[in-house]
Amino acid sequence: MSKLVRDLMHTGLITCKPTATLGQVAVLLDQHQVHALIVTDRDGRPNGILSDLDLMAGEWLSQDAESLKVMRSLTAADLMTQPVNSVEADVPGEEAVKILLEKQVSRLLVTEKGKAVGIISTSDFVASIADKALLKREVVADVMSDAILVCRGKTPVVSAARAMTSAGWRSVLVVDAKGKILGVVSGHDLLRFVKDGVDESKIVRDVMHPALTIDLHASLREAAHMMIENHYHRLVVTDKEDPDAFPLGVISTFDIVAAMARADSVWQKQ
């Protein structure tokens, strides 16, 4: 790894005051989609760190009305971890990894000449690993998304919408108990409920549309042709040699465009 911490870190800090309630911390974590906040003193100096796992302790301990009352009275200062482990921005990334492993923590405060300038986390290093992957764009398997959002046919529509929103996905694959593909629910399938409202008893099987599948060894040209011909933005990736197996992933227009946008793509070379 030749990159410095400053090359991998997230610039800036999401902070809260020591007096912030656990409920207020939860709102900040959700709004900024982060796993931890830096707790600062009255002068804005980092004083501790509070993560989503710390909040889980509060949720778990609130077993009855009395304990909930106690937990609601706690503040960020009561649950934060001190001291905040830090690393200088100009040290090699390997040094930060060493600290993460030795301290058994997930993130470090990044400083520059002693001043806090950002955060570097395990996720940043995972992303750096992904960036090292050699670009291949010959077949579907080269650019598809291996992760896939799934639900059962009996899942309520409102639950599917919530899962799509929290995961940042535009669709959810509907499968039966054995993983057999039943269909797909996309944002377009849910649009009609914005106008008419949604019956909480409505399930995804009632609104899904048929899924189109493509073999992982098919060419990108084949995938693009199938999307254009059927006006589909995504295809479910399967293995034709094992058709009854659980789906392998999804390839979408975004996956293909992302491959085209990479600096080492043939589309970017003059």
Mean pLDDT of 142-147: 84
Asked if 12 and 101 sit in the same domain, the reply is yes
CA distance 223 to 83: 52
State what percent of residues in the chain have pLDDT above 70.
Answer: 91
Please, which pLDDT band fits residue 237 given cuts at 50, 70 and 90? Answer: very high
Q: Which domain holds residue 57?
A: 5-130
Out of 130, 153, 179, a domain closes at 130
Mean pLDDT across the chain, nearest whole number? 86
Task: Pick 128 or 65 by higher pLDDT.
Answer: 65
Asked if 111 and 204 sit in the same domain, the reply is no
Please, which pLDDT band fits residue 137 given cuts at 50, 70 and 90? Answer: low
Out of 96, 130, 164, a domain closes at 130
Q: Is the pLDDT of residue 1 over 60?
A: no
Mean pLDDT of 245-258: 85
Q: What is the pLDDT of residues 99-116, one digit of tens each?
A: 998 998 889 999 998 899
Asked if 112 and 67 sit in the same domain, the reply is yes
Mean pLDDT of 25-31: 90
Q: What is the pLDDT of residues 69-106, one digit of tens each?
A: 888 888 999 999 999 999 999 999 999 999 998 998 88
34, 35, 64, 70, 244 from 78: Cα distances, Å:
20, 18, 20, 12, 52
Nearest to 184 by CA among 204, 156, 165: 204
Q: Is the pLDDT of residue 261 over 80?
A: no
Out of 130, 152, 181, a domain closes at 130
Let me know if residue 270 belongs to a domain.
Answer: no
Q: What is the pLDDT of residues 145-204, one digit of tens each?
A: 888 899 999 999 999 998 888 888 888 999 998 889 999 998 888 877 776 777 778 899
DSSP state of 137: -
**What is the CATH classification number for the domain harbouring 103?**
3.10.580.10
